[in-house]
Structure 1
Amino acid sequence: MNEGKVFRRRNLPHIDVEGKASFITACLDGSLPAAGLKRIRAHRDEFDQRKKPLDLSDADWEMKKHKLLFKLVDSILDGESPVTHLRDDRLAKIVADAFLHFAGERYTLFAFVVMPSHHHWVFLPDPTWAEQFLAQQQDKEKKRTPREGISHSIQSFTGTQCNRARGGEGAFWQAETFDHYARDQEELLRIIHYIEQNPVVAGLVDRAEDFQWSSARIRSKLGIQAGEPVPKVA
């Protein structure tokens, strides 16, 4: 299909492009404070009132607005979030282990980080697995893309396991994720850097490789360059 692009919009835009890595951010339920949500809505309304540049498609314009909004959301999550369950190493490990579990099988894992109130990761669905997954979707009323299938699986599993570990119940993650795709290798490297530097920017560590729940730590130990796959490790 034409670049394999699938665009959907609920409260947030979601774009899948065949052969392109997906950058996913998921927030804990309740992690965005009321004041922060008010600012996010105001910014979103302002962005939606802007005229679309003539050189951008509707989908590309939605994605550009999404990226601008994402920067604001991430700064709120890093500095103002009232919910930080993932400061608990038991819960952070559950999420980090989930990312690594199917690395090299269902997807190529390029980077991840588990922050106190959210997580970031970037991955590329394995073509063979994606083909099998899409075949399984044919008879389903609600069909998912490979990116949606992978992300949903991670969110569902980690939400259940983290609630069990902390003795909680109800929603663990915010219902929707923030996501977009890496257009090329240069953008992929920028995304990897953004993800792995998040703990440094948030003031949690001085060096990215010192943060325990991050691919930067694994890559440093194994001598893996940015852009190379992060392997499934114990």
Structure 2
Amino acid sequence: MQGIFRRRNLPHWDVPGHPVFITGCLRGCFSATGLKQIDEYREELECRSKPAKFSADQWEHHKQKLFFAFVDNLLDNDSPVQHLADDEQAKIVANAFLHFANERYKLLAFVVMPSHHHWLFRVNEDWADMEIARLKLLGKQDRTPREIISHSVQSFTATMCNRSRGVEETYWQQETFDHWARTEDEAIRIVHYIENNPVKAGLCAVAEDYGWSSAKIRHDLKISESQPIPKIVLP
């Protein structure tokens, strides 16, 4: 496996050619109790012994999935901040994902939930090569393509959503949760996870009824789960 690994408070892998699954959370989206539960669960996972059936890499991958599922459950059920329940702000974020579809990346799935968002994309390697070369010429190349794309979306949506709210404050939590899909089958499972998140959270009965998700676009345009979402603008 080749790629770039970085760790701040959370681990970040960048592996060229593979889809990346990103979750961005609103600042303050975890209660004090939720933060305590996250820390305790993280410590408990680190103390678990590796089962014989897993390699070291597979075990780390599995623990990341368990940790993410735990965090996502808190986001769906115990979040004190839910700015994105407002349709205007949700539309801003959804359209930001769609804006560079088929240009900077293949957009495979997305959903905007009340306290967070999920999206899955595969970086356009031709765009990435040109962007990295441009930044090197400017002496600014210190970000991976995934970081460039994510930062662009988070920065733009923070500005526009705060403008919609009439405030100037930090909108997103500083770090995103990210995870790369090792196989196409895993990518399809992530598409299902993302698009069914509103159903799991009790926001709708079927995925395509939720307005701020690729599931509705996929249903309306009759796009299969393995096909990318085209660049459109949500009204």
Q: What TM-score, normalized by structure 1, do the two folds share?
A: 0.94
Q: Which residue of 2 aligns with 1:8?
A: 6
Q: Which residue of 1 aligns with 2:208?
A: 209
Kindly provide the amino acid, as one letter, of the partner of residue 182 in structure 1: A
Is 1:82 matched up with 2:80? yes
> Alignment partner of 1:123: what SS?
strand
> Alignment partner of 1:212: what SS?
coil
Distance 1:165 1:113, change over 3 A: same
Q: Which residue of 2 aligns with 1:73?
A: 71
Kindly provide the amino acid, as one letter, of the partner of residue 147 in structure 2: E
% identity of equivalent residues: 57
C-alpha contact (below 8 Å) 1:86/1:115 kept by paired residues: yes
Distance 1:146 1:40, change over 3 A: same
Residue 206 of structure 1, CA deviation: 0.2
Q: Which residue of 2 aligns with 1:173?
A: 172
Residue correspondence of structure 1 range 190-201 to structure 2 within 5 A: 190-201=189-200
Q: Which residue of 2 aligns with 1:164?
A: 163
C-alpha contact (below 8 Å) 2:4/2:15 kept by paired residues: yes
> Alignment partner of 1:124: what SS?
strand
Residue 46 of structure 1, CA deviation: 1.4
Distance 1:48 1:141, change over 3 A: farther
Show CA shifts across 1:180-224 (max 9, x none).
Answer: 011111000000000000000000000100000000000000000
Residue 57 of structure 1, CA deviation: 4.0
Q: Which residue of 1 aligns with 2:146?
A: 147
Gaps of at least 5 residues in structure 2 are none
Q: Distance in 2 between matches of 1:65 and 1:149?
A: 26
Show CA shifts across 1:71-96 (max 9, x none).
Answer: 11101110110000001100000000
Residue correspondence of structure 1 range 1-234 to structure 2 within 5 A: 3-52=1-50, 55-57=54-56, 60-138=58-136, 140=139, 143-234=142-233
Q: Distance in 2 between matches of 1:230 and 1:69?
A: 28
